[in-house]
Protein backbone atom coordinates (compact mmCIF):
# COMPACT_ATOMS: atom_id res chain seq x y z
CA UNK A 1 0.00 0.00 0.00
CA UNK A 2 1.19 3.46 -0.90
CA UNK A 3 1.26 5.92 2.01
CA UNK A 4 1.80 8.93 -0.25
CA UNK A 5 -0.80 11.66 0.27
CA UNK A 6 -2.36 9.98 3.30
CA UNK A 7 -4.92 12.22 5.02
CA UNK A 8 -4.89 12.59 8.82
CA UNK A 9 -8.46 11.98 10.00
CA UNK A 10 -7.90 12.16 13.73
CA UNK A 11 -5.06 12.36 16.24
CA UNK A 12 -6.33 11.80 19.74
CA UNK A 13 -5.65 8.49 21.47
CA UNK A 14 -4.49 7.12 18.12
CA UNK A 15 -3.29 8.64 14.86
CA UNK A 16 -5.79 7.70 12.15
CA UNK A 17 -4.99 8.15 8.44
CA UNK A 18 -6.98 7.52 5.27
CA UNK A 19 -4.82 6.34 2.40
CA UNK A 20 -5.21 8.23 -0.87
CA UNK A 21 -4.44 5.27 -3.13
CA UNK A 22 -6.86 2.68 -1.72
CA UNK A 23 -9.96 2.69 0.56
CA UNK A 24 -8.03 1.78 3.69
CA UNK A 25 -7.71 3.49 7.06
CA UNK A 26 -4.46 3.07 8.98
CA UNK A 27 -4.58 3.40 12.76
CA UNK A 28 -1.35 3.94 14.70
CA UNK A 29 -1.49 3.35 18.45
CA UNK A 30 0.61 4.96 21.13
CA UNK A 31 4.21 3.69 21.39
CA UNK A 32 5.29 1.22 24.06
CA UNK A 33 1.88 1.22 25.71
CA UNK A 34 1.55 -1.90 27.88
CA UNK A 35 -2.23 -1.63 27.99
CA UNK A 36 -2.79 -2.51 24.32
CA UNK A 37 -5.40 -5.22 23.90
CA UNK A 38 -5.50 -7.59 20.94
CA UNK A 39 -7.92 -5.45 18.93
CA UNK A 40 -7.41 -7.56 15.81
CA UNK A 41 -8.36 -10.76 17.63
CA UNK A 42 -11.31 -9.02 19.28
CA UNK A 43 -12.74 -7.58 16.05
CA UNK A 44 -12.40 -10.84 14.17
CA UNK A 45 -14.32 -12.53 17.00
CA UNK A 46 -16.96 -9.78 16.96
CA UNK A 47 -17.47 -10.33 13.23
CA UNK A 48 -17.95 -14.06 13.80
CA UNK A 49 -20.58 -13.16 16.42
CA UNK A 50 -22.32 -10.80 13.94
CA UNK A 51 -21.72 -7.72 16.10
CA UNK A 52 -21.82 -4.60 13.86
CA UNK A 53 -18.22 -3.42 13.78
CA UNK A 54 -15.95 -1.67 11.33
CA UNK A 55 -14.00 -4.36 9.44
CA UNK A 56 -10.31 -5.06 9.27
CA UNK A 57 -8.84 -5.57 5.81
CA UNK A 58 -7.52 -9.01 4.94
CA UNK A 59 -3.85 -8.77 5.76
CA UNK A 60 -1.55 -9.97 8.51
CA UNK A 61 -1.79 -7.49 11.37
CA UNK A 62 -1.08 -5.71 13.61
CA UNK A 63 2.34 -4.49 12.61
CA UNK A 64 4.66 -3.31 15.36
CA UNK A 65 6.64 -0.28 14.23
CA UNK A 66 8.80 1.68 16.70
CA UNK A 67 6.74 0.20 19.52
CA UNK A 68 3.46 1.30 17.94
CA UNK A 69 0.72 -1.16 16.94
CA UNK A 70 -0.44 -0.42 13.37
CA UNK A 71 -3.74 -1.78 12.07
CA UNK A 72 -5.56 -1.55 8.73
CA UNK A 73 -9.32 -1.03 8.35
CA UNK A 74 -11.92 -0.78 5.61
CA UNK A 75 -12.58 2.88 4.78
CA UNK A 76 -16.18 3.98 5.29
CA UNK A 77 -17.22 7.22 3.63
CA UNK A 78 -19.04 9.38 6.17
CA UNK A 79 -21.64 11.56 4.52
CA UNK A 80 -24.06 11.61 7.48
CA UNK A 81 -24.01 11.85 11.25
CA UNK A 82 -24.40 8.86 13.55
CA UNK A 83 -27.06 9.51 16.21
CA UNK A 84 -27.51 7.85 19.59
CA UNK A 85 -30.48 5.93 18.18
CA UNK A 86 -28.18 4.35 15.59
CA UNK A 87 -26.06 2.88 18.40
CA UNK A 88 -28.93 0.92 19.97
CA UNK A 89 -28.74 -2.06 17.61
CA UNK A 90 -24.96 -2.63 17.68
CA UNK A 91 -24.76 -2.23 21.46
CA UNK A 92 -27.72 -4.52 22.05
CA UNK A 93 -26.08 -7.14 19.83
CA UNK A 94 -22.74 -6.76 21.61
CA UNK A 95 -24.32 -7.09 25.04
CA UNK A 96 -26.31 -10.15 23.99
CA UNK A 97 -23.26 -12.22 23.04
CA UNK A 98 -23.08 -15.04 25.58
CA UNK A 99 -19.69 -16.51 24.70
CA UNK A 100 -16.37 -14.98 25.69
CA UNK A 101 -13.76 -13.72 23.22
CA UNK A 102 -10.65 -15.81 22.51
CA UNK A 103 -8.44 -13.00 23.82
CA UNK A 104 -7.74 -11.52 27.22
CA UNK A 105 -9.72 -8.43 28.19
CA UNK A 106 -9.45 -6.49 31.41
CA UNK A 107 -12.06 -7.42 33.98
CA UNK A 108 -13.30 -5.54 37.06
CA UNK A 109 -14.25 -2.49 35.01
CA UNK A 110 -15.38 -0.42 38.00
CA UNK A 111 -12.30 -1.11 40.12
CA UNK A 112 -10.04 -0.36 37.15
CA UNK A 113 -11.96 2.86 36.54
CA UNK A 114 -11.38 4.04 40.11
CA UNK A 115 -7.67 3.24 39.81
CA UNK A 116 -7.46 5.09 36.47
CA UNK A 117 -9.19 8.13 37.96
CA UNK A 118 -6.68 8.27 40.80
CA UNK A 119 -3.71 7.92 38.46
CA UNK A 120 -5.06 10.66 36.17
CA UNK A 121 -5.51 13.06 39.08
CA UNK A 122 -1.97 12.40 40.33
CA UNK A 123 -0.27 12.75 36.94
CA UNK A 124 -2.17 15.73 35.50
CA UNK A 125 -0.11 18.89 35.04
CA UNK A 126 -3.05 21.32 34.95
CA UNK A 127 -4.64 20.76 38.36
CA UNK A 128 -4.23 22.95 41.42
CA UNK A 129 -3.90 21.46 44.89
CA UNK A 130 -7.53 22.35 45.49
CA UNK A 131 -8.60 20.64 42.27
CA UNK A 132 -6.72 17.47 43.22
CA UNK A 133 -8.28 17.42 46.67
CA UNK A 134 -11.77 17.89 45.23
CA UNK A 135 -11.36 15.14 42.63
CA UNK A 136 -9.77 12.68 45.05
CA UNK A 137 -12.56 13.29 47.57
CA UNK A 138 -15.14 12.69 44.88
CA UNK A 139 -13.41 9.47 43.83
CA UNK A 140 -13.27 8.18 47.41
CA UNK A 141 -16.94 8.99 47.96
CA UNK A 142 -17.91 6.99 44.87
CA UNK A 143 -15.56 4.13 45.81
CA UNK A 144 -17.24 3.77 49.21
CA UNK A 145 -20.63 3.43 47.51
CA UNK A 146 -19.47 0.91 44.88
CA UNK A 147 -20.15 -2.28 46.94
CA UNK A 148 -23.79 -1.24 47.33
CA UNK A 149 -24.49 -1.10 43.58
CA UNK A 150 -26.49 -3.99 42.14
CA UNK A 151 -26.33 -4.39 38.37
CA UNK A 152 -29.34 -5.75 36.52
CA UNK A 153 -27.64 -6.79 33.28
CA UNK A 154 -25.28 -9.75 32.98
CA UNK A 155 -21.59 -8.90 32.86
CA UNK A 156 -19.91 -9.50 29.51
CA UNK A 157 -17.94 -7.81 26.76
CA UNK A 158 -18.55 -4.07 26.72
CA UNK A 159 -17.26 -1.44 24.32
CA UNK A 160 -15.96 0.70 27.17
CA UNK A 161 -16.29 4.06 25.40
CA UNK A 162 -19.51 3.85 23.40
CA UNK A 163 -20.63 7.17 21.94
CA UNK A 164 -21.39 8.95 18.68
CA UNK A 165 -17.79 9.52 17.61
CA UNK A 166 -16.81 5.90 18.24
CA UNK A 167 -19.20 4.65 15.59
CA UNK A 168 -19.34 4.99 11.81
CA UNK A 169 -22.11 4.73 9.25
CA UNK A 170 -21.73 1.76 6.91
CA UNK A 171 -23.50 2.66 3.66
CA UNK A 172 -23.23 -0.92 2.38
CA UNK A 173 -25.18 -2.43 5.30
CA UNK A 174 -27.27 0.68 5.97
CA UNK A 175 -26.48 0.78 9.69
CA UNK A 176 -24.03 2.15 12.23
CA UNK A 177 -21.04 0.02 13.19
CA UNK A 178 -18.90 0.35 16.30
CA UNK A 179 -15.23 1.28 16.08
CA UNK A 180 -12.33 2.25 18.37
CA UNK A 181 -12.25 -0.91 20.49
CA UNK A 182 -9.17 -0.04 22.57
CA UNK A 183 -11.25 0.34 25.75
CA UNK A 184 -13.17 -2.93 25.39
CA UNK A 185 -13.39 -4.88 28.63
CA UNK A 186 -15.40 -7.37 30.62
CA UNK A 187 -17.89 -5.47 32.72
CA UNK A 188 -21.48 -4.38 33.27
CA UNK A 189 -23.34 -3.29 30.11
CA UNK A 190 -24.73 -0.45 32.23
CA UNK A 191 -21.33 1.22 31.70
CA UNK A 192 -21.91 1.53 27.94
CA UNK A 193 -25.51 2.67 28.45
CA UNK A 194 -24.62 5.42 30.91
CA UNK A 195 -21.85 6.58 28.57
CA UNK A 196 -24.44 7.18 25.87
CA UNK A 197 -26.68 9.04 28.33
CA UNK A 198 -23.81 11.24 29.54
CA UNK A 199 -22.79 12.16 26.00
CA UNK A 200 -26.35 12.98 24.96
CA UNK A 201 -26.97 15.17 28.01
CA UNK A 202 -23.59 16.84 28.50
CA UNK A 203 -23.00 17.60 24.83
CA UNK A 204 -26.49 19.01 24.36
CA UNK A 205 -28.01 16.54 21.93
CA UNK A 206 -31.78 16.85 21.42
CA UNK A 207 -33.64 15.09 24.29
CA UNK A 208 -35.61 12.95 21.85
CA UNK A 209 -32.39 11.47 20.49
CA UNK A 210 -31.68 9.71 23.76
CA UNK A 211 -35.30 8.62 24.04
CA UNK A 212 -34.98 6.99 20.62
CA UNK A 213 -31.87 5.16 21.80
CA UNK A 214 -33.75 3.83 24.84
CA UNK A 215 -36.61 2.61 22.68
CA UNK A 216 -34.23 0.88 20.28
CA UNK A 217 -32.15 -0.76 23.01
CA UNK A 218 -35.13 -1.59 25.22
CA UNK A 219 -33.92 0.01 28.46
CA UNK A 220 -33.59 3.51 29.92
CA UNK A 221 -30.57 3.53 32.22
CA UNK A 222 -32.06 6.45 34.17
CA UNK A 223 -34.71 4.11 35.57
CA UNK A 224 -32.06 1.83 37.14
CA UNK A 225 -31.48 2.54 40.87
CA UNK A 226 -27.70 2.79 40.39
CA UNK A 227 -27.91 5.33 37.58
CA UNK A 228 -26.89 8.46 39.51
CA UNK A 229 -23.85 6.75 41.00
CA UNK A 230 -22.62 5.30 37.70
CA UNK A 231 -23.34 8.60 35.92
CA UNK A 232 -21.16 10.46 38.41
CA UNK A 233 -18.39 7.87 38.13
CA UNK A 234 -18.45 8.03 34.33
CA UNK A 235 -18.33 11.81 34.30
CA UNK A 236 -15.46 11.85 36.80
CA UNK A 237 -13.54 9.45 34.59
CA UNK A 238 -14.09 11.72 31.59
CA UNK A 239 -12.98 14.82 33.50
CA UNK A 240 -9.86 13.26 34.96
CA UNK A 241 -8.78 11.49 31.77
CA UNK A 242 -8.89 14.79 29.89
CA UNK A 243 -7.09 16.48 32.78
CA UNK A 244 -4.26 13.98 32.37
CA UNK A 245 -4.08 14.52 28.62
CA UNK A 246 -4.28 18.32 28.66
CA UNK A 247 -1.30 20.65 28.41
CA UNK A 248 -1.17 23.72 30.67
CA UNK A 249 -2.61 26.79 28.98
CA UNK A 250 -4.34 24.87 26.20
CA UNK A 251 -7.98 25.24 25.20
CA UNK A 252 -8.50 21.64 26.30
CA UNK A 253 -7.17 22.49 29.76
CA UNK A 254 -9.51 25.48 29.97
CA UNK A 255 -12.50 23.25 29.22
CA UNK A 256 -11.42 20.66 31.81
CA UNK A 257 -11.00 23.32 34.48
CA UNK A 258 -14.42 24.72 33.58
CA UNK A 259 -15.91 21.27 34.13
CA UNK A 260 -14.16 20.99 37.50
CA UNK A 261 -15.55 24.35 38.61
CA UNK A 262 -19.03 23.16 37.65
CA UNK A 263 -18.45 19.98 39.66
CA UNK A 264 -17.37 22.07 42.63
CA UNK A 265 -20.52 24.19 42.33
CA UNK A 266 -22.75 21.19 41.52
CA UNK A 267 -23.86 23.04 38.38
CA UNK A 268 -25.43 21.02 35.49
CA UNK A 269 -23.39 22.62 32.71
CA UNK A 270 -23.16 21.66 29.06
CA UNK A 271 -19.72 20.44 28.04
CA UNK A 272 -17.74 21.31 24.92
CA UNK A 273 -16.45 18.35 22.90
CA UNK A 274 -12.71 17.81 23.24
70 and 138 co-located in one domain: no
Query: How far is 9 from 272, CA to CA, in rounded Å?
Result: 20
In a domain, 79, yes or no: no
User: Omega of the bond prior to 62 within 30 degrees of 0, cis?
Assistant: yes
In a domain, 1, yes or no: no
Interval 3-34: pLDDT, tens: 999 999 998 878 999 999 999 999 999 886 66
107 and 208 co-located in one domain: yes
Interval 209-223: pLDDT, tens: 999 999 999 999 999
**Of 24, 48, 74, which closes a domain?**
74
In which band, very low, low, confident or very high, does the pLDDT at 139 lie, cut at 50, 70 and 90? very high
Interval 169-190: pLDDT, tens: 999 999 999 999 999 999 999 9
In a domain, 202, yes or no: yes
* Residue-range definition of the domain harbouring residue 51: 7-74
**φ and ψ of 118, to 5 deg:** -60, -45
Interval 27-67: pLDDT, tens: 999 886 666 789 999 999 999 999 999 999 999 999 999 98
The answer to whether residues 139 and 118 touch, using CB atoms and an 8 Å cutoff, is yes
Cα dihedral: 222, 213, 41, 242 (round 10): -60
In which band, very low, low, confident or very high, does the pLDDT at 243 lie, cut at 50, 70 and 90? very high
89 and 69 co-located in one domain: no
The answer to whether residues 170 and 177 touch, using CB atoms and an 8 Å cutoff, is yes
**Of 74, 100, 116, which closes a domain?**
74
Over residues 108-113, mean pLDDT: 96
Over residues 224-234, mean pLDDT: 98
In a domain, 62, yes or no: yes
In a domain, 187, yes or no: yes
53 and 134 co-located in one domain: no
160 and 52 co-located in one domain: no
The total number of structural domains that make up the chain: 2
How far is residue 90 from each of residues 3, 43, 47, 86, 109, measured CA to CA in Å?
Answer: 32, 13, 12, 8, 20
68 and 90 co-located in one domain: no
96 and 211 co-located in one domain: yes
In a domain, 272, yes or no: no
pLDDT the model gives residue 33: 63
pLDDT the model gives residue 34: 61
Q: Is the pLDDT of residue 123 over 70?
A: yes
**Of 74, 99, 124, which closes a domain?**
74
Amino acid sequence: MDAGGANLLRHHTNAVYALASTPVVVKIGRPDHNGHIDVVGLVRWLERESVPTVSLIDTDQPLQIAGCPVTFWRYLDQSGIVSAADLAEPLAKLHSVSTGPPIRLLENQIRNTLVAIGNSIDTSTILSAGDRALLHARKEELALQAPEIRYELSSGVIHGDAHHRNALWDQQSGRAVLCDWENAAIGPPEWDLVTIEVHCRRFDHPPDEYQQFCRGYGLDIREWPGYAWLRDLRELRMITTNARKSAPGSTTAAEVLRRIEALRADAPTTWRIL
